[in-house]
Structure 1
Amino acid sequence: MIRFFTLLSTMIALVCAGVGTAGAKDIKVGYVYIGHIGDAGWTYAHELGRQAIDKMPGVTSSYVEAVPEGADSERVIKNMARKGYDLIFTTSFGYMDPTLKVARQFPKAVFMHCSGYKSSKNVGNYFGRMYQARYLSGMVAGGMTTSNKIGYVAAFPIPEVIRGINAFTLGVQAVNPHAQVNVVWTKTWYDPATEKEGGKSLLETGCDVIAQHQDTPGVQEAAQEAGKYSLGYNSDMSRFAPKAHLTAPVWNWGPFYKKIVTQVQNGTWKTGSYWPGLESGIIDLAPFGPMVPQDLQEKVLAAKKAIIDGTLKVFAGPVKDQTGKVVIPAGTSATDEQLLGMDWLVQGVQGSTK
């Protein structure tokens, strides 16, 4: 009987401490989203990752969607922290400073900010080397254009987006040195109508392939309606424009989120910057559309393998900017510092960073 009560007391103590059968504590995980989970893009991809961790033992998660950057995001993040969330993922560039501010007030919670570059003792940052997949999608675009005019609907002129445009253009040039990439800025992450209009404006200037750094399938729909080709972003958007969709750089956040949650559960999490590439599976290309020729598919997949094994560097010199100045000399490749601060466009891009 004494053994029974001793065992019972031990089990009660473990439950009260929030410790599961595998030794990992129970935790609450929160997500702050810039868009809606049904956007089929950026927020949708993060939501799939959240659903993956929600199935883990001892994990309870929730989210708040459509949170504007700035004061509203600070309020939402702080509200989660006050409610005792152990781990909070903030998933937009403009959440960076609000995340750091709230984290200082709640030092026992762990915060992870996506796409930024600042960190602290209890704030880490993470992203993926999406520019690698952008390069591959650029190869597809360069191989499919007949007008040699390719369009790119972009959100904001920040390093993340500029880096993607440049990588995409270098991919285009790898298979088609005569093609140019025309950029329009929407100044929004999530606005289906504005994104679609941006795509239409490029198609009207003669672009026959259009790509995007946007969160909805609006650009894909514009291409299909015009009988042209498109490349999506964030998730496989082929179901929205099956006759137009060539492929898309996509995110698979599930494995990464599981890793971070496990670290927080077992007490091994440490702050840092996480920037994995194609080798991790966190970024990839969506399946090719049936209109992409087999020989082009094989060329792109060979480049993907070369990037993974390190024999192909996307930003290997010489790389020139729009003025013709060599920014990355021959025999070198861009450092992470250069990539994270990229504020110039490569030669072959029509448009500006304004």
Structure 2
Amino acid sequence: MKKKFTLWAYFAVAFMLAMSSFSIANVVEAAIPKAGFIFFHDEASTYDANFMRAAEQACREQGVEFVFKTAVPESEECTKIAAELVQEGCRIVFADSFGHDSYMAEAAKKFPAVYFITATGVKSHTANLPNYHNAFATIYEGRYLTGIAAGMKLNEMIAEGKIAPNKAKIGYVGAYTYPEVISGYTAFFLGVRSVCKTATMDVLFTGSWYDYDAEKKAAEQLVAGGAVLLGQHSDSMGVPSFCEANNIPNVAYNESLEKEYPKTFLVSSKINWKPYFTYIIDSVKNGKAIARDWTGHMADGSVEISAINERVAAKGTARALAKAQKKLSNGKVNVFDVRKFTVSGAQLNAFEAAISEGDVREAVKDGYFHESEYRSAPYFDLTIDGVNLLNTAY
């Protein structure tokens, strides 16, 4: 009888251990979040492709299943797609476009147990939803550095007699007159001006984030107006392809185009979203809070510039950028140093930035404009001297 009891006890313990192991495995599996990603365009857009690469890398490294939804419009369709991702088991839903912001906030209301995040958005400040978040990075740092590369190229062209100092004009193709675009091209121009004092810049807006024909046409118009080097905040290959065909140096965005356009690609900047994606996945896995509004920096790897195309860049460019990057990182240089630019002929000594509804803050302190410090999305929206806007319809 004792032996029988012992045998049954053995089987009972073994069964309990087996069930315990099964339960623990299930809990661990359940704790690994599934992530859904909403993209405004597809991989043909350099902007969206940059997010896709970072999302895939972060998810694979973290052992997380992921789902991509592409060509999602900035409309109620976004809320619908977000809900579909939740129904597919996603505990994290991320959207990559400013125009998705309000629609993602609506989804967050419906699914309080799911984390919703929109890049470049601002609604996290007013939505009052613990599961809704925004994120961006100080891309103006990268833009500033690529501007230095562009300015050095202009200096080389002047030294070689290709252009006169007063003809050092840059053309810039922008999508919209949003602070994100204005902040970016201003930082770029300030980088140019830090090394080429005679430089000016014409800006032309297309009214679209991704429109190959419109961007190419804008590039043509800018060059016809005297631009000898082009930059962009738009997402197609319209500008780089025009530059390559017409031997115009080009500063790109979101990825290196040296392989595709070896004769004219100079350098590019981008936000590296992998650190943020890794952060939110780790936070959800371990039950840690996610920052309501997160800002990445060059110092933490969230802002990068590509390798210099030495065949196009002026001599010494790589060394100059490394030196400037070090000064940015240690605070010896501030991109929006108000001593370095004027607005309507005067130094900018004060500026009330509207961070969100009812939240207005002084952005100029300690001699510089404090961009992306009160919220991640940029709020610098001034036109500084030396920049000429050819249209403002968008």
1:54 pairs, out of 39, 52, 59, with 59
1:127 alignment partner, SS class: strand
CA shift at 1:332, angstroms?
1.3
Q: After TM superposition, which residue ranges in structure 1, 4 or more long, deviate above 4 angstroms? A: 319-322, 328-331
Relative to structure 1, the CA distance from residue 247 to residue 328 in structure 2 (aligned partners, 3 Å threshold; closer, same or farther) is farther
C-alpha distance in structure 2 between counterparts of 1:6 and 1:67, whole Å: 48
Amino acid aligned to 1:72 = E
1:190 alignment partner, SS class: coil
Extract unaligned runs of 5+ from structure 2: 1-10, 158-166, 351-364
Amino acid aligned to 1:302 = K
C-alpha distance in structure 2 between counterparts of 1:159 and 1:279, whole Å: 23
Alignment of 1:9-24 (within 5 A): 9-17=19-27, 19-20=28-29
Alignment of 1:1-80 (within 5 A): 1-17=11-27, 19-20=28-29, 25-39=31-45, 41-56=46-61, 58-80=63-85
Relative to structure 1, the CA distance from residue 51 to residue 153 in structure 2 (aligned partners, 3 Å threshold; closer, same or farther) is same
C-alpha distance in structure 1 between counterparts of 2:277 and 2:206, whole Å: 30
CA contact under 8 A between 2:44 and 2:236: conserved in structure 1? no
> Is residue 2:107 matched to residue 1:87?
no
Extract unaligned runs of 5+ from structure 1: none
CA RMSD of aligned residues (A): 2.0
1:182 alignment partner, SS class: strand
More displaced stretch, 247-256 vs 109-118: 247-256
1:344 pairs, out of 375, 382, 385, with 382
C-alpha distance in structure 2 between counterparts of 1:232 and 1:323, whole Å: 29
Alignment of 1:141-156 (within 5 A): 141-145=150-154, 146=157, 147-156=167-176
Counterpart in 2 of 1:256? 276
Counterpart in 1 of 2:330? 309
2:171 alignment partner, SS class: strand
CA shift at 1:83, angstroms?
3.1
C-alpha distance in structure 2 between counterparts of 1:58 and 1:204, whole Å: 51
C-alpha distance in structure 2 between counterparts of 1:251 and 1:325, whole Å: 32
CA contact under 8 A between 1:52 and 1:258: conserved in structure 2? no
Amino acid aligned to 2:204 = V
Amino acid aligned to 2:188 = F
C-alpha distance in structure 1 between counterparts of 2:280 and 2:228, whole Å: 42
Alignment of 1:212-231 (within 5 A): 212-231=232-251
Relative to structure 1, the CA distance from residue 100 to residue 298 in structure 2 (aligned partners, 3 Å threshold; closer, same or farther) is same
CA shift at 1:66, angstroms?
1.2
Counterpart in 2 of 1:334? 369
C-alpha distance in structure 1 between counterparts of 2:115 and 2:261, whole Å: 40
1:285 pairs, out of 305, 323, 335, with 305
C-alpha distance in structure 2 between counterparts of 1:134 and 1:241, whole Å: 20
Amino acid aligned to 2:18 = L
More displaced stretch, 247-256 vs 312-321: 312-321
C-alpha distance in structure 1 between counterparts of 2:298 and 2:378, whole Å: 17
1:63 alignment partner, SS class: strand
More displaced stretch, 225-234 vs 211-220: 211-220
Counterpart in 1 of 2:160? none
Counterpart in 1 of 2:354? none
CA shift at 1:341, angstroms?
2.2
Question: What is the total number of aligned residue pairs between the two structures?
Answer: 349
C-alpha distance in structure 1 between counterparts of 2:341 and 2:106, whole Å: 39
CA contact under 8 A between 1:126 and 1:275: conserved in structure 2? yes
More displaced stretch, 323-332 vs 195-204: 323-332
Relative to structure 1, the CA distance from residue 315 to residue 80 in structure 2 (aligned partners, 3 Å threshold; closer, same or farther) is same
C-alpha distance in structure 2 between counterparts of 1:328 and 1:226, whole Å: 42
What's the TM-score once normalised by structure 1's chain length?
Answer: 0.93
2:186 alignment partner, SS class: helix
2:230 pairs, out of 210, 225, 230, with 210
Counterpart in 2 of 1:139? 148
CA contact under 8 A between 2:59 and 2:278: conserved in structure 1? no
What's the TM-score once normalised by structure 2's chain length?
Answer: 0.84
1:141 alignment partner, SS class: helix
C-alpha distance in structure 1 between counterparts of 2:307 and 2:218, whole Å: 25
Amino acid aligned to 2:384 = V
1:274 pairs, out of 284, 294, 299, with 294
Sequence identity (%): 26
CA contact under 8 A between 1:323 and 1:347: conserved in structure 2? yes
CA contact under 8 A between 1:316 and 1:333: conserved in structure 2? yes
